[in-house]
Amino acid sequence: MAYFDAASAVPLHPVARQGLLASLDDGWADPARLYREGRKARILVDAAREAAAEAVGCRADEVVFTSSGTRAVHTGVAGALAGRRRVGRHLIVSAVEHSSVLHSADAHEADGGTVTQVGVGRAGLVEPGAYAGALREDTALACLQSANHEVGTVQPVAAVAEVCRAAGVPLLVDAAQSLGWGPVEGEWSLLTASAHKWGGPAGVGLLVVRKGVRFAAQGPSDERESGRAPGFENIPAIVAAVASLRAVRAEAAQEALRLRELTERIRSRVPELVPDVEVVGEPGRRLPGIVTFSCLYVDGEALLHELDREGFSVSSGSSCTSSTLTPSHVLRAMGVLSEGNVRVSLPPGTAEADVERFLDILPGTVAAVREKLGAPAPATAVREDVLVVDSLGKRCPIPVIELAKVFPTVPLGGLVRVLSDDEAARLDIPAWCEMRGQEYVGEEKAERGCAYLVRRLT
């Protein structure tokens, strides 16, 4: 089985396993106690904190170990907002942040705060100027991921941090996807990360709060982790997490070159091997191991199941997968095709032969899914000079399939009106138009759902 979902979780690194087992004997006691067993546990925690600080590029007393990366985000956002409440209650996030950041923003808004979402282009990249334009006198905090978890786009953190620093606003960086590859550049103020993203054990997160940043931990606290992460530390897991971070960093430069070559191979060959595919994400500024593409006329869940049967573990941001009924918020913000979406994220050590086998089986797999899915005979009617395609009650990718099947019958300059109540159509029909060189006229309200207008240009 080829595991191609490293953006979700990386298999436990051998060094993490060794560190976990080695620290079980000495890392079980309370590190806050002064007796011998407590001192042994404290030595392990202190050494892990020093090593984590070195990897991040900060002071050891700025590092807090949390129970997960999500907990680090929630704690960091809430604490920074509370610490700067006198300034105001305005929060800035990008539209493609990890759900943990967006959930924190939702909670802040529900509590009376205000939130500005900064949009992105079709490559998923934010513009530093957009952050500058979103800053206000009452802005308490800005958040920006170092790299996107779905399409691999690396964000201009240093430039955004400089914009925020000039305005006196702290920037929280979610570095979950990138920290294993190297430290985050720029004058950021807070940073979060998650150990299972680089081969450490699940259940360990990092929260870094720079000295001088106003921070007020929310909720009940105790004397542990500077009062910012209450509860007994999982010392063996912390030791294993930091040990694996140091190990992957030592291998990062060489492994990044190898994985970039493999993902570039996928990016360039998939459109050659499979018709009607859109490769998404920034082609240059990207993480080494992530490549994402979407296939027209394909059900995302069916495609993932077929790839799983062929021995490949991948993920998807399509709305037609079992875990969601709406397209990925990342793909939606980018305005790219969402149907038949596949994210390939290669873990360190991925064999070249596995990538080649993936490219060998992908065309037949996509073709088989398209053939099995078929295309129901579209219900059509002529309304003056507009061809109407009724796809109400049909899920992705049926509306686009029905549009494509009737389109050859439309005269040049003619319009097609696609009726759909599937949210994915709002992304997929304009994406189809761009791929086909046709004009997407826009949408209008219908008695049920929406009507999407497409004009034939070629």
Report the interhelical angle of 300-309 vs 352-373 (nearest 10°). 130
Q: End-to-end CA distance of the chain, in Å?
A: 44
Alpha helices in 312-452 (DSSP H): 329-334, 352-373, 398-406, 425-436
- The pairing of strands 2-3 and 312-313 is parallel
Q: Given the residues 58, 143, 295, 320, select the one marked as catalytic.
A: 320
**Cβ atoms 106, 138 nearer than 8 A:** no
Number of other residues whose CB lies within 10 A of the CB of residue 349: 14
320 is catalytic: yes
3-class SS shares of the chain: helix, strand, coil, % to 5: 40, 20, 40
Give 294-332 as a 3 state SS string: EECCCCHHHHHHHHHHCCEECECCCCCCCCCCCCCHHHH
DSSP 71: H
Cis peptide before 397 (omega within 30 of 0): yes
36 three-class SS: helix
Q: In what order do the strands lie in the sheet with 290-295?
A: 277-280, 290-295, 341-345
**Looking at the DSSP assignment, which residues form a beta bridge with residue 64?**
207
User: What is the distance between the alpha carbons of residues 410 and 261, in angstroms, rounded to a whole number?
Assistant: 43
Report residue 48 as tokens: 């892990």
176 CB-near residues (< 8 Å, 6+ apart): 69, 98, 145, 149, 192, 193, 194, 197
Report the interhelical angle of 99-110 vs 69-83 (nearest 10°). 40
Q: How far is residue 38 CA from its own chain's centroid? A: 39
Give the DSSP letter string of 162-225.
HHHHHTT--EEEE-TTTTTT-PPPS--SEEEEEGGGTTS-SS-EEEEE-TT------S---SGG
Q: Which amino acid is at 406?
A: V
* Main-chain dihedrals φ then ψ at residue 293, nearest 5 degrees: -145, 160
Catalytic residue numbers read 320
